[in-house]
Amino acid sequence: AQTVTQSQPEMSVQEAETVTLSCTYDTSESDYYLFWYKQPPSRQMILVIRQEAYKQQNATENRFSVNFQKAAKSFSLKISDSQLGDAAMYFCAYWFIQGAQKLVFGQGTRLTINP
Amino acid sequence: ETGVTQTPRHLVMGMTNKKSLKCEQHLGHNAMYWYKQSAKKPLELMFVYNFKEQTENNSVPSRFSPECPNSSHLFLHLHTLQPEDSALYLCASATYSGSNEQFFGPGTRLTVL
């Protein structure tokens, strides 16, 4: 069974600094998607960034980028120029294209931004 | 707010009550999901519906009963719940193909007394 592990329950960073959130996953498949979702306090979960496993190029969305290491099964999220609005729970998730239509989530990392 | 809405946003119920959670999506998606989010635990997938058909029941107790009358609406009927069922219940929707990007609702905060 596929599993997703986020080893950092909590992280903090100074405003305007850069922070990296870690995620590892376990799968025997070669074709899948990986996601980072953000859940701000008392607000809806939204998609931050998506990576397709067959693409070698790391995905980037403005201040958010990933370091996708397929062989190591690692998928970290880098947030540059951290802003107060980045404070949230961040969830890493895996989706296997040919399998059941469901996401497998990690435990989440709570990110605090210090002003 | 995204195109997925959930009502009510907060619900307090006794163990003998019967209540229902409602989810509605306005995104033209054909897959809908119920998740349970408890403190310090990963999101737990409960049910998956594709084209109104249930395709996944993740060993959920029968006191939770889903209903999907059409592709836009999803219900979760609750009866004789336990205090450990207190959690945030999230609904999501997606297109049943491609990257399965899921769009989440705001959730219903359920407290079982």
CB contact A51 to B (< 8 Å): no
| Chain B: closest CA distance from residue A17 (Å) | 27
| Chain B: closest CA distance from residue A91 (Å) | 9
Cβ of B42 within 8 Å of Cβ of A108? The answer is: yes
pLDDT for the residue A13: 97
Q: Are the beta carbons of B100 and B55 closer than 8 angstroms?
A: no
Nearest in space to B112 (alpha carbons), one of B21, B22, B48, B5: B21
Cβ of B56 within 8 Å of Cβ of A102? The answer is: yes
Cα–Cα distance list, A11 to A63, A64, B88 (Å): 17, 16, 23
Residues for chain A: how many in total? 115
Chain A hits for B40, CB-CB cut-off 8 Å, are 107
pLDDT surpassing 60 at residue B2: no
Cα–Cα distance list, A7 to A19, A25, A99, A110, B38 (Å): 15, 11, 26, 11, 18
Name residues 52-81 of chain A within 8 A of B (Cβ).
52
Q: Say if residue B8 is preceded by a cis peptide, omega within 30 of 0.
A: yes
pLDDT surpassing 70 at residue A112: yes
pLDDT in tens, A27-72: 988 889 999 999 998 888 999 999 999 998 999 999 999 999 999 9
Name residues 67-96 of chain B within 8 A of A (Cβ).
90, 92, 94, 96
